[in-house]
Chain A
Amino acid sequence: DSGVTQTPKHLITATGQRVTLRCSPRSGDLSVYWYQQSLDQGLQFLIHYYNGEERAKGNILERFSAQQFPDLHSELNLSSLELGDSALYFCASSKTGTGSEKLFFGSGTQLSVL
Chain B
Amino acid sequence: DQQVKQNSPSLSVQEGRISILNCDYTNSMFDYFLWYKKYPAEGPTFLISISSIKDKNEDGRFTVFLNKSAKHLSLHIVPSQPGDSAVYFCAATGGAGSARQLTFGSGTQLTVLP
Q: Chain A: residues with CB nearer than 8 A to chain B?
A: 2, 4, 33, 35, 40-45, 48, 55-56, 58, 90, 92, 98-100, 102-108
Contacts and interface: CB of A to CB of B under 8 A. Distances in A.
Contact of B44 (A45, A98, A99, A105): A105
Interface residues of B, number: 26
Given A2-B45, A105-B43, A107-B41, A45 B89 contact: no
A8 to B, nearest CB: 14
Most chain B Cβ neighbours within 10 Å, of A33, A55, A99: A99
Interface stretch (B54-62, B74-82, B98-106): B98-106
Given A42-B4, A58-B101, A102 B106 contact: no
B98 A103 contact: no
Contacts of A102: 34, 46, 49
A58 B99 CA distance: 10
A100 B4 contact: no
B106 A40 contact: yes
Given A45-B101, A55-B98, A56-B99, A103 B106 contact: no
